[in-house]
A and B are shown apart, each in its own frame.
Chain A
């Protein structure tokens, strides 16, 4: 069992090394606050409230007088859906914490590594790498259930990044195999092979 875990840990490390080379999109989606809470005078005006004497309308829908949102051509204003094809790259701060976690893992101290990784996760929660590393720490503690879940979470953020996907599916296959779930492992392996 121990050697199997050692092998697993090695695979993870290798997979993460490969995935580490991958980078995500670098769009700035950061939105600064509109108002500062301390300046009460400038606090945002709450949305208009209907006057007291208007009849109680048991609906949440906009009143009929509000026109449907359409542009001048009658084309429905659908806005552009907000989504992204990949997770986000690790921030340097999170990367430094992951480095610390690596050192702790090498010192056979996975519990302490988890502490640092959770800090990293709070900083870069949309980077698949953080979750794969958490998974590695849980494998080191021989806690394969959470390890599998963190891999799944990482995979959900891999998007169309093939390298991150491949390392995730391989990691998942290894964890499932170590946990005795051969069918699940084969499935994951097949997914990795397809990429």
Chain B
């Protein structure tokens, strides 16, 4: 201890001796030393701050979230859209009800809409601004006229943003460049926030002095002396506390920033960083997003009265929130405009014009976040195959999905309302539901419902509830059988009688025709339409479980399929999305068509990164699928699905299949019209029983949904190799149209019956048939 302390002493002594001749030499020495020490510390601190400042500025400056868009609405004569859906679509895409002249506004009188589009940059090209007149009759666009802008028989509206993929700090922004700013924007900003911006070096003593004087006069803080650079530094690096140390840091960092970077660069960063508001837990940063958030417009399209408001908001986005405090916001905006006029930045008349304008902010942000949690979940899972999460959170990608807001709305509504009716009172484990809707001809997923509360971002049953599919498997058993036209036709009598299977380990399996009944010999088409179990198992065992499994796999089933005969009654567990994918093959007449949720991903500038193209792959003979489609249409007309037609027009010619598992644990329905394929499921999360069947649970959801969407009926083109004949299915013979039990039925050419029976005895019927034929 001594040793270490002694050299200090000795070093002090000569130091105190040296300036002995001066007055109070020790004082100056201490001052000098403290100053030196302070300087060293400060220099070190400056070096540290410099590193902080440059590190942030050298790399990627901002993490820009990815934007997820719904499919754009395409308007053309004949397009299926109702007036209410068009209104909703326009609202989602940020259009305002107005004069239909200003871009982004529309007017409506009865069935006639005048829409002034904003234009949008799609990956395949720019959709220019247009003014349109759209007339809607009978849920269809009956007339489309382009009033101004390039003529075209088909126009795409800008798509609604339906979500975003945000970085952890939830900052949302749209990057802009200085050259994107409209005329006078920069002057407005500088005039309001930092008049000496181009003259100072980061801090402005002049501004501080001015603010000090103004505040002193007012007796409170009314003006800040911070430069833009200081504000930027504060936002980027520092906390919001008002301490001296923080102020000191701010000033130093501002000086350092100015030392390294030029004014335009600092200004541009400021434009993108500034905080302008809050939408839920998402914070709105930068004028690029601010402009869209408040006006639904791109920054370059804003007028003076609009960007004056944005600039005014910088002072206090919450205090001056134009949606919550429009009066305050208007006063603030007008102050900004008056200041501009006072300093001659804009001429008097322009200022007066701007002052006369209303605030013009959009009603609400053009999308509410998490409006479609289940669908976005599916999109994210698809993206995860090709993109890294950090890129999605920071690169500002644009993701164009296939979501159809109108169809999603109808699906959510059908699930919620039907479940309310099925189980009005609350139970410990309430009924839950899921629904998937895809476009029959493209495989695009148009809507996805993950539970009865579609706003709840939790367990996504459409993707994750893996449940036995029950009788939904039967079409695939019969498809396998009908693939052997020498043995099976739609008319082939099949046995619906009890039997027992005894396994090697002694277990017995005795399938039941649920209601305990046996139906004896029934023609195959009826066995499917009425979903008879015993017949299905017998046919399945005859063609072989392996063959049925192979059919499932051919049509895209990848999960393991049990080899037990119980699979023929749907012990196979699948998720609603997998069922939709499986049924897509039946709906498209034997072409596999992968379900798609994303059409394209582009970078922030609109350059395509990946396209997910339409793909078709013929895996099953369309002729055989046509026979199944016939039986599935019969299911709807006469079989287990017929209650649907109580609410649906028969010309939809729907095709579908019910599915129920033991004690109603799962109630399924899968089916399609000309345009849509939909799968509905109802059950409980804890897998307990319900009183429902496929026909009394999922089918009502499905038919309610179908009843709300304008669409075309299902009318497949008769494939090559299929011929229709009038047959008597009881007798297994060709017959005449007017005969009893006559049915017009498709056959694979050559497999139709050879025998013919006539009903010559019944003269009245023959005559009636003859007359009917005459007047048809």
Contact = CB atoms under 8 A, between A and B. Distances in A.
B742 interface: yes
Contacts of A20: none
B710 A35 contact: no
A58 B471 contact: no
A9 to B, nearest CB: 20
B140 A37 contact: no
For the residues of A in contact with B, the DSSP-based class is: loop
Contacts of B646: 47
A93 B77 contact: yes
Contacts of B649: 31, 34
B477 interface: no
Tell which of A78, A97, A165 has the most Cβ of chain B within 10 Å.
A78
Nearest to A48: B643
Contacts of A35: 707-708
B740 interface: yes
A86 interface: yes
Interface string A139-157: 0000000100110110111
Contacts of B530: 61-62
Contact of B693 (A59, A77, A122): A59
Nearest to B444: A122
Interface string A78-101: 111111111100011100110000
A116 B122 CA distance: 12
A37 B84 contact: yes
B714 interface: yes
A73 interface: yes
Contacts of B703: 44, 46-47
Nearest to A69: B638
Interface string A156-177: 1111100001000000000000
Nearest to A122: B442
Contacts of A38: 84, 88
B74 A123 contact: yes
Given A83-B716, A93-B77, A150 B691 contact: no
Interface string B79-115: 1101010001000000000000000000000000000
Contacts of B633: 81-82
Contacts of A112: 124-125
Contacts of B704: 43-44, 46
B66 interface: no
Nearest to A154: B616
A29 interface: yes
B528 to A, nearest CB: 12
Contacts of A146: 615-616
Nearest to A76: B741
B76 A93 contact: yes
B296 interface: no
A36 B413 CA distance: 11
Given A93-B77, A159-B717, A33 B662 contact: no
Nearest to A34: B707
Given A29-B713, A91-B78, A82 B653 contact: yes
B711 interface: yes
Contacts of A50: 691, 696
B154 to A, nearest CB: 4
B648 A34 contact: yes
A26 interface: no
Interface stretch (B21-29, B281-289, B417-425): B417-425
A55 B662 CA distance: 14
Given A93-B154, A119-B74, A74 B618 contact: no
Contact of A60 (B154, B441, B695, B715): B695
A157 B717 contact: yes
A76 B663 CA distance: 32
Given A36-B708, A91-B78, A60 B717 contact: no
Contact of A83 (B153, B648, B718): B718
Contacts of A74: 740
Contacts of A58: 514-515, 660, 662-664
B712 A84 contact: no
Contacts of A93: 74, 76-79, 153-154
B307 interface: no
B640 interface: yes
8 contacts: A62-B640, A62-B642, A83-B715, A83-B716, A84-B717, A92-B78, A119-B74, A152-B618
Given A30-B712, A34-B648, 11 more contacts: A29-B651, A33-B708, A37-B708, A56-B691, A79-B650, A81-B746, A82-B633, A91-B76, A92-B76, A115-B124, A116-B124
- A-B pairs, top 5 by smallest CB distance, nearest first, are A125-B441, A82-B653, A93-B76, A59-B514, A115-B124
Interface of A: 29-38, 40, 43-50, 52, 54, 56-64, 69, 73-87, 91-93, 96-97, 111-112, 114-116, 118-119, 121-123, 125-126, 131, 134, 146, 149-150, 152-153, 155-160, 165
